[in-house]
Each structure stands twice: as C-alpha cells, then as structure tokens.
Structure 1
C-alpha cells in the first residue's frame, strides 16, 4: 500500500507542479494530470448518482465501477502501471447487454433528464466521455495502454443505458428530442 496522507497540504504544488505516482513531477496542466483528474471527476459524479434513489443492483454495479475508476486513475497517474484489464471491459459489456436487452429500441434521440437519478447518470456519462477524450489526448503524446480508453468508452455507453433504465424506474420516462418542433424560416 502506498503512503497514507497524514497532512493534506504539502506546499509542493504551489509552483504549479504535482507529483505522479512514480515520484516524478509534472505541471498540473499536463495531459496526464488532465486525464486522471477527469477520471476522478467522473468517479465523483457517480458518487453523486449514488446519493440518489437507484435500485440495489445498479447501486452495487456503480460501486464496483467506482473502485475500477480509482484503479484506472492510478494507472494513468503512474506511467507504465497497469490496473484495468480486458476482463474489466468484458464485464462492462455483459452489464451493458443485460440492461439494454430490457429496453425498447431507440427510434429518436433522448435528452438528458428523466428524473433525478437519470439526470445525474447523464452527467456522469458526459464526464466519462470527457475523461475518454482526455485519455486519448494523453495517448497521442505518451504511452497509454488501450484498455483504459476502451474501458471509458464502454462505461459511457453503459451509463447511457443505465440513464434510460433509471428514467423508466423513476416513472418519469425518457425525454424525447423533438426535432420537428421548430418551423422552417421563410
């Protein structure tokens, strides 16, 4: 186990740098810090989702995902470290298939909403998408294994499906985008 924090402030980052998990220092605005920082933000949005009323099976799944996101953040924070593997991605796909099978096919786009839990799930989905983009940007500049990117991609898909499930569970239903609501201008 790594060092435990006994003192929260160290002043070592006052110059705009931060320490990576391997002890090296980089700018707080580096692509690596942006990637694992956004993964942390995604994890926090899932925590916010868990503060809402969600079914027990989804609560258990999201808690497992929070642990995996913490592992993924560690992988991105320690260059060369591996924490997410293909089996983690396979499990996300299994959950995706399970929850999606019970949903009717989408014929229209849906808007983020559908009740408190569903709306929070949509926020988590969009933050995970940003974490994916940040990780792709990091991978263009430095070595990043493909598993973190694949994991984030599947996770955002799963959160979309879970938002649909939660919208139905709450009784609010999905908010369908009304693309023909505007009249053409003359």
Structure 2
C-alpha cells in the first residue's frame, strides 16, 4: 500500500535511495536510472493526453499505458526474489500482448513507409515522438541494469535480478508510440527523412531511393 504523508524526507540528500524491497542503493544505480526514465516518459504522455487534437481512442490507450508505466517502474525498482514475502507487482506477458494488439490495431491501416520519419507534423505527434525516444532510453537503461544484476534472484553478477518482461514492455511501448505518432500526424502527413538531402545524387541506386522517398522522378 502506498501512503504518502510527506513528500520531502531528506533521506536522499547523501545520494542514496531505497528500492521497492527497501534495500538501499545509490541514485546512480542503473535500476534507478531505468525507472527514472520511465517516469520521464510518463510525464510526457501526461502532456499528450491533455492535447485537444488527440483522438479519444488514443487518449484512452495512453491513460492505460500511463498506469502500466507505473507498474513497470515498480517492477524495475523491485529486485527479483526467489521467496518474496508477498506477491510483487510485475509486468506479465499479457501486458506486452496488449501493446502488440494496439500496434496492430492502429498500425495496420497506416500507409507503408518509404523512409524513416522525422519527428514533427504536429505538436501532439512531436510529443509522442519525444515520449518514444525517452522510452527507448529507459529500455537501454534497463538493459544496463540487466548487465549489472542479471535476470535471476541470485545471478552471480549482483543479487536481485531484473524482470526481462519489464524490459520487453518498454521495447513494445516504443513501437506503439511510434505508430500512434504516425496516426496523429496523418493530417499533416509523415515527415520523411531524405538521406543527404542537399547532396547531388548521381549513383543510380541512391538516386532511385531518393525518388522513391520524395516522389520526384525529375
């Protein structure tokens, strides 16, 4: 149970903090880095959900995702324990499967891409791209935690491994946010990356790629 009676505690003034199992660690611990990035992504999604041009069905998805991101952060903050005193809050396969279902639901109707996308199109789409990139950072930090702690309760690396499903959740979520950014940005159209845009392309294969991206055969 969470019971917040006072926000400041002064316990972190020495650069230390406590994980969900109450074990103490540094504020630069890779676990803390990972769930800190998750928190940052969640804050950005909070901005997105307030946007007037956000379709209601996407707003509902993001509200659900925001709650699950707290679950994911709690998971990353809680070292694996072979015999936990209580059932811990963990990301489970159905959390990831739901993200994949949303990826299919929102992604299948989109037009095929001819290149990578530049963040833009609209402010809402740009915020979704920003959230996506922060989730990617969270995923990288989570992998750093895996390297530091392993994936078992007593891995031989450091005690208290990391739940790989929490890392997988972040990977799928970044995919979903990319798709949702495209959905929201369709009114303005995808802003495509043109490799070496200011260069004079003469090599036939590169020229063909440029024409495919820009639609300009001249």
Pairwise CA distance, 1:5? 1.6
- Whether 2:201 is the aligned partner of 1:151: answer no
Distance 1:64 1:10 in 2: 30
Runs of 4 or more, structure 1, over 4 Å off, are: none
User: Larger deviation: 140-149 or 173-182?
Assistant: 173-182
SS at match of 2:58: helix
Which of the pair is proportionally richer in helix?
1
In 1: Cα distance, 2:97 partner to 2:172 partner:
9
Which 5+ residue runs of structure 2 have no aligned equivalent?
A: 81-87, 150-160, 202-218
Partners of 2:25 and 2:122 lie apart in 1 by 41
Give the corresponding residue for 1:75: 75
8 A contact 2:34–2:142 mirrored in 1: yes
Q: 2:198 aligns with which of 158, 165, 182?
A: 182
1:128-139 aligned at under 5 Å gives the runs: 128-139=135-146
1:160 paired with 2:178, answer yes
The structure having more radius of gyration, on CA atoms, is: 2
From 69, 87, 103, give the equivalent of 1:96: 103
Is the CA contact (8 Å cut-off) linking 2:75 and 2:163 kept in structure 1?
no
1:47 alignment partner in structure 2: 46
Unaligned runs of 5+ in 1: none
Supply the distance in 1 between the matched residues of 2:67 and 2:55 (Cα, whole angstroms).
19
C-alpha distance in structure 1 between counterparts of 2:40 and 2:128, whole Å: 13
CA RMSD of aligned residues (A): 1.4
**Counterparts of 2:116 and 2:35, CA distance in 1:** 30
Aligned residue pair count: 182
2:74 maps to 1:56 = no
Post-superposition offset of 1:178: 2.1
Could you say what secondary structure the match of 2:66 adopts? helix
